[in-house]
Structure formats: structure tokens, C-alpha cells
């Protein structure tokens, strides 16, 4: 069978999950195709901006879906940014229903920090709506490290994911193969069609805009390459400026650039990003002090200790008003 696995990975953990699951399918004799969902979404935005060369990226992605017998979708869970990897990738613009007509089986997976949400169930439900005759193989949510600067550990420290979490991932991978070979499979998943977007508005306001330190920036433009929202762009070619241009309107505060900048030139001053350790799967942690994954009280303490209170007062008031307005509308 042909297996297509689409993953949204912010700092590498979900990509690792996709590769681990893919290896299990490959070892069982199936053909596996991996797709980076953030690159697909980036290609769509470039297409909308008139860059027709990206049509090939979207066309190849849709062809792979159409030819697949088994389709899996995975995403990092960011409670603040539910639209990344969930609401957009499975829209008709990117993943039209006719591309799923040959799908026989499907599954979903996600990775989350201290604050989980039902992303993997949302993914599964959206896939089911594309082809209601396909068989559900299962879902899995992995507890991982924080990947948002407002919640990441102080410089010089590192949150360690227990080995038991990765053992559970391996068991899930094996269960997918077992269910695929079982003629009487009857798994179900929670029917959750969407996630609320108001937390995104609040945290975007609280986190504040990024700031690029011109003294530390070396002009490698890795941040421009990996930004899924095209919020960063290469400056003009006249040589007067080397640091990337930033569109604060397009930036969604996903912190992918913050976590991957090789010189730590990117900061979120409002939440003390310069005082936080970067989070990238597979990074060298030999010189970092290791911590257990934080409990909720520890997470709150970590968040509050990094805030720049002079900058955060107005956003706190505005965020509170947004939340109160949302509660009033809800009731």
C-alpha cells in the first residue's frame, strides 16, 4: 500500500513522530511518502501572492494524496495557534475532497507541551469528512517540550521528555500496522470539527512582535526560508540593510524563527525571549542543565518570571477585554 504522512512540525518533534511512524510502515513493506505541511501552506500563500512556480508543490502534494491508500496527518499542538496545521491544511483550497477518494485508511497524531488540546481528534474528524467510507486506524498525542518563548525554560536549561513517551509512540506505530492487517477493526474518534481561535488572538497580543538584533544577525535568512506565513522577507538588494524585513500583520508568533536562529538574533522582548532557551528536536544539550517537564504551577511561574511588565500592561488589559467579550457572546 502507498502511505502518505503529512506533518506540521514547529521544532522537530512532530517530524520525528512522522518519521518513526513512517519507518514502521516501511519496515512492513509499504511505500511511504512524507510531506512537510508547513511548506505546503507556505506554497499556497506564495501562489496567492502571484508566485506561480509554487503550483508544482501543491500539484505534487495533491497527486500524492489521490494515489494514497493510507493517509496520516500530524501537527504540533499550540493552544495559542489552533489554525496552524488544523484549520488550513485540510481546507478545500489545499486538500480538496476528490484527492481522498482512493483513501482506505487514515490516522492522526500530535505533540503538545504542558497545555494539550484535541488537535489529533480535529485532524481525524476533518479527514473522515473527506471520505466517510475510510477506516480509522487510531490517534496518538505525545507530551513533549514547550516550543513557545513565553513558556520555554531559562537559558542554560533544558526540559527532558521521558523515554516512556517515545516508547508509547513506538507502540502506536506498531498498532497502526496491526490494525491495518486486521479485517475487523472498529476504532472511533471524538467528533470535534473545529478549535476556538480566541486564544490565538490573546496570546498573539500578549507575546508581542518579534525584534531582530542587527548586531547578532548574520544575514543567513534561514528564518525567511522556514516562516510558513511569509512574515519575513529578504531586504532590498541595495546593500543598505542585511536583517530581514518583518510583517507584524502576517506574523502569527509561532516562534519557529526564534527557535531556529543560529545566532539567537530573534527575540520576543515582551515575554523575555532573550532569556529563554531555544527548543529544537535533536539539539546538543550536553552543556545544558536538565529539568523534568514542568508541572502547571511551574509553567505559570516560568511564564511570569520572564515577562517585561512595562510592555505587557496594555496587552493584558486588551486580552482581558477580548476574553470577556468572547464569554459574553458564548452565553
Give me the DSSP letters along 177-237. Answer: HHHHT-TT-------------HHHHHHHHHH---EE-TTT--S--HHHHH-TT--EEPPPT
The boundaries of the domain holding residue 93 are: 2-180
How sure is the predictor about 21, in pLDDT bands with cuts at 50, 70 and 90? very high
The reply to whether 257 falls in a domain is yes
Residue 84 and residue 169 share a domain: yes
Residue 272 and residue 241 share a domain: yes
Residue 309 and residue 239 share a domain: yes
- The cell numbers describing 296, all together, are 502547571
Q: What percent of the chain has pLDDT over 70?
A: 79
Residue 149 and residue 13 share a domain: yes
The reply to whether 246 falls in a domain is yes
Cα–Cα distance measured from residue 167 to residue 26, given in angstroms and rounded to the nearest whole number? 19
Residue 56 and residue 154 share a domain: yes
Closest CA to 5 of 137, 101, 93: 137
How sure is the predictor about 122, in pLDDT bands with cuts at 50, 70 and 90? confident
Residue 161, CB-side half-sphere exposure with 13 Å CA sphere = 21
Mean pLDDT score, 144-164? 84
Residue 211 and residue 119 share a domain: no
Q: How many domains does the chain have?
A: 2
Question: What's residue 49's pLDDT?
Answer: 67
Question: What's residue 16's pLDDT?
Answer: 92
The reply to whether 156 falls in a domain is yes
Contacts 24+ apart (CB under 8 A), 160-167: 160/290, 160/291, 160/292, 160/293, 161/293, 162/292, 162/293, 166/142
Residue 175 and residue 268 share a domain: no
pLDDT tens digits for 107-116? Answer: 999 888 776 6
The reply to whether 280 falls in a domain is yes
Residue 206 and residue 152 share a domain: no
| β-strands 289-292, 157-160 pairing | parallel
**Among 95-104, 183-192, 308-317, which range has the highest average pLDDT?**
95-104
Question: What's residue 80's pLDDT?
Answer: 46
Domain termination site, one of 180, 214, 242: 180
Mean pLDDT score, 59-87? 78
Weakest-pLDDT range from 14-23, 147-156, 318-327 = 318-327
Residue 146 and residue 43 share a domain: yes
pLDDT tens digits for 269-320? Answer: 888 888 888 887 777 777 888 888 888 788 778 877 777 666 666 556 666 6
Say if CB 150 and CB 306 are below 8 A apart.
yes
Length of the chain: 331
Question: What's residue 77's pLDDT?
Answer: 75
Weakest-pLDDT range from 82-96, 102-116, 260-274 = 82-96
Question: What's residue 137's pLDDT?
Answer: 92
Report the DSSP beta bridge partners of residue 292: 160
Question: What's residue 82's pLDDT?
Answer: 46
Residue 223, CB-side half-sphere exposure with 13 Å CA sphere = 32
The reply to whether 239 falls in a domain is yes
Question: What's residue 100's pLDDT?
Answer: 96
Considering the chain, what is the average pLDDT of its residues? 81
Residue 277 and residue 133 share a domain: no
The reply to whether 40 falls in a domain is yes
Higher pLDDT, 171 or 38: 171
**3-class SS of residue 70:** strand
Question: What's residue 330's pLDDT?
Answer: 56
How sure is the predictor about 199, in pLDDT bands with cuts at 50, 70 and 90? low
Weakest-pLDDT range from 65-69, 169-173, 174-178, 248-252 = 248-252
The reply to whether 188 falls in a domain is no
Mean pLDDT score, 165-180? 91
Question: What's residue 67's pLDDT?
Answer: 96
Say if CB 150 and CB 311 are below 8 A apart.
no
Residue 224 and residue 175 share a domain: no
Closest CA to 10 of 147, 210, 201, 121: 147
C-alpha radius of gyration, the chain, whole number = 20
Question: What's residue 323's pLDDT?
Answer: 60
CATH number at residue 102: 3.40.50.360
How sure is the predictor about 68, in pLDDT bands with cuts at 50, 70 and 90? very high
The reply to whether 11 falls in a domain is yes
Residue 155 and residue 74 share a domain: yes
Amino acid at each position: 500500500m502507498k502511505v502518505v504522512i503529512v506533518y506540521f512540525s514547529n521544532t522537530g518533534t512532530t517530524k520525528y513522530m512522522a518519521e518513526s511512524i513512517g519507518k514502521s510502515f516501511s519496515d512492513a513493506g509499504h511505500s511511504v511518502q512524507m510531506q512537510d505541511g508547513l511548506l505546503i501552506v507556505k506554497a499556497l500563500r506564495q501562489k496567492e501572492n502571484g508566485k506561480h512556480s509554487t503550483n508544482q508543490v501543491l500539484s505534487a502534494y495533491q497527486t500524492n494524496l489521490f494515489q494514497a491508500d493510507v493517509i496520516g496527518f500530524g501537527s504540533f499542538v499550540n493552544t495559542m495557534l489552533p489554525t496552524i496545521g488544523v484549520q488550513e491544511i485540510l481546507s478545500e483550497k489545499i486538500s480538496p475532497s476528490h484527492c481522498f477518494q482512493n483513501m482506505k485508511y487514515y490516522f492522526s497524531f500530535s505533540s503538545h507541551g504542558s497545555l494539550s488540546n484535541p488537535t489529533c481528534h480535529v485532524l481525524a474528524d476533518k479527514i473522515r469528512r473527506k471520505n466517510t467510507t475510510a477506516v480509522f486506524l487510531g490517534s496518538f498525542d505525545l507530551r513533549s517540550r514547550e516550543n513557545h518563548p513565553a513558556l520555554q525554560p531559562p537559558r542554560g536549561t533544558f526540559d527532558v521528555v521521558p523515554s516512556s513517551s517515545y516508547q508509547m509512540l513506538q507502540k502506536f506505530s506498531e498498532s497502526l500496522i496491526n490494525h491495518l492487517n486486521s479485517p475487523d477493526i472498529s476504532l472511533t474518534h471524538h467528533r470535534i470539527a473545529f478549535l476556538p481561535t480566541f486564544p490565538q488572538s490573546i496570546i498573539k497580543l500578549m507575546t508581542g512582535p518579534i525584534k531582530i538584533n542587527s548586531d547578532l544577525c548574520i544575514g543567513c535568512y534561514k528564518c525567511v526560508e522556514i516562516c510558513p506565513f511569509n512574515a519575513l522577507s529578504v531586504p532590498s538588494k541595495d546593500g543598505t540593510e542585511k536583517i530581514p524585513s518583518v510583517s507584524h500583520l502576517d506574523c502569527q508568533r509561532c516562534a519557529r524563527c526564534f527557535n531556529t536562529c543560529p545566532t539567537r538574533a530573534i527575540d520576543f522582548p515582551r515575554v523575555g525571549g532573550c532569556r529563554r532557551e531555544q527548543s529544537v528536536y535533536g539539539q546538543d544539550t550536553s552543556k545544558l542543565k536538565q529539568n523534568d517537564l514542568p508541572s502547571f504551577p511551574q509553567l505559570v511561574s516560568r511564564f511570569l518570571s520572564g515577562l517585561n511588565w512595562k510592555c505587557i500592561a496594555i496587552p493584558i488589559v486588551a486580552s482581558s477585554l477580548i476574553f470577556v467579550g468572547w464569554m459574553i457572546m458564548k452565553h
